[in-house]
Structure 1
Amino acid sequence: MTQVESTQFAAEQIRNAIIAGHFKPGDRLVEQQLTDMLNVSRHPVREALRILAREGFVDIQRNKGASVTALDSDSVIDVYNLRMALGKIALDHLLHEKGKISASMLKRLEKLAASAVKFAALEDQSQTVQNDLEFQQTIIDATGLQRTMRYFSELTGDVRRFNNLLAVVYTDRKGDAKKYVVKLFEAIRDGNLEEAQAIWQAKFRKAMDRYLTLIKSDESDGARRPLPK
């Protein structure tokens, strides 16, 4: 691999390990250990850590090196405020004028909305989570706005990390699917910008409140437990 490719590879591997929870908040990220683990030279690892620091996954301090950033209320609020704002931009762009969403994209959203209801009946919630993230990204991608698409996609890594570290248990997946996915699809399909905006905001505020409840709890150590509906 070239040095650029090595840096990208190292950043991807370390990022994925942080998102999955293999590297916990506060864990030190020692360059030599990472070079041995990833089988790349030290310079790409150092550059990868700088990239991840800009993304918010890593904290680099002079004379202390790099460590995995803490999971705190501020980071959750920051990520979800950004995702809410990007969604507002997307919905304004898509629904301000008629005909901006293609028939194929609407068909895709309809399929994902139907899958949300279907997956809600399964005991394993992983497909529900994956389907919902895909539904959100599909709405964003429908705009064709490259920066909006890229920024929203990058923040999805944070959401996956929150989910893995806090081990959220969704207790009313069927209700959430109908209220926040099916209804949002219908508002987009009908060109109802005000309704779509309201559902999007409510959906993300509820998600943010779930994480904040766990972080503020004394039990926010990764133990799985149901949350208030």
Structure 2
Amino acid sequence: MYAHPAVSSAAFLIADPTRAAMLMALADGRAQPAGELAYAAGVTAQTASSHLAKLLAGGLLSVETQGRHRYYRLAGSHVALVLENLASIASVLPGGTVRRTPRSREARELQFARCCYDHLAGGLGVAVTQALQDRAFIVATADKQFEVTHDGMAWFSAMGLDVAAVKPTRRGLARQCLDWTERRHHLAGPLGVAFMTQLCAKGWLRRLKNSRAVQVTPKGWAGLKEELGVDKRTVQTGV
């Protein structure tokens, strides 16, 4: 008997297309009922129930009961990280070519800006993270983390975010997350979550109700341009 984690069990659960679709539908960190997940996966309610039971048993999902309804969510950010990493592998074709051009409007919206378990991802997330590095507000370290500099602490404070009050997890305060559409890193971890929450609170970003896509408001574009030099053209052209 090998004394190793049962990697194959988790891999088997994720490998099924129906279960993978359900997991990706939950990758923004919000809970959803079984009916919504069935619709996202294109299966019947009975089929969805069977798959959800397996995901619960496998530790990939958690469930919360409210009255007569049951709401499912990912078991934690570690599951979202696995999904993002797998998606980044899948975005490379057999010949090694990165799939840069989305095939639908929804895909374009997700590539432009999306929520990755409550932190900002997509082209916008990468552009904002790069701007933070260019201004030396955060510095990438060798252990896949970001370190917040003294100037960064002051800048985040001016944005209404007290970095010292953000509690790190065992994986750190600010983590580098490889973006599956951009193949570059965006800001994740507790600081990434707190930062996106603050941008939404300021009215710069707007999360969509039934999608992982994130919209930038006119106020948001003005603020991102003034504070970080990030504008829509920069994100779209990848400059």
Q: TM over 0.5: same fold?
A: no
Structure that is richer in strand per residue: 2
More contact order relative to length (CA 8 Å, sep ≥ 6): 1
Normalised by the size of structure 2, how large is the TM-score?
0.34
Q: Tell me the TM-score normalised to structure 1 length.
A: 0.35
The structure with the greater share of residues assigned to helix is 1
